[in-house]
Amino acid sequence: MKTPACFVLTWAILSINLFAQTNRTTGLPYEINISSGVAEKLLIHKVDPDACPHIAMAAHVIGTVVVGFDIDKNGNVLHPTVVSGPAMLRKPVLDAVRKYKYKPYLLNGEAVVVGTTVSVQIDTVRDCHAE
């Protein structure tokens, strides 16, 4: 039978591991991942991608690019990475997402680093017809 001291020590070690998580991409400590819907409510500056690369227009590329990234304590985007989407649209979307600005996410009144994703839908036929 285990002693209460052994139980307390095991619990303490597990607690430290659970609460001292770091993001696998950046190595920065963060408390939680937030949904794209929550992140959208914190978005204060959005940049539209240059969705009209000539080759994408000629190919009539349509699709959604999903980008994963962290939001730092100041609301800046850190290390955006494409999760999925058409190859021809990835660079313009990444360039745009790097310029996004968010309100800091507060946990118990303190700004924390959080992970999230954003989905950017592009239709080069619809969005680029005037060019």
Contact 116, 69 (CB under 8 A): yes
What's 31's DSSP letter? S
**pLDDT tens across 64-117, in order?**
999 999 999 999 999 999 999 999 889 999 999 999 999 999 998 999 999 999
CB atoms within 10 A of CB 72: 19
**pLDDT tens across 7-19, in order?**
544 544 444 444 4
pTM, two decimal places: 0.71
Looking up tokens 């989407």, which residue turns up? 85
Which of the pair, 90 or 53, is modelled with greater confidence? 90
Q: What are the chain's domains?
A: 22-127 (3.30.2420.10)
Which of the pair, 42 or 30, is modelled with greater confidence? 42
pLDDT of 123 reads: 76
Looking up tokens 């400590």, which residue turns up? 29
CB atoms within 10 A of CB 113: 20
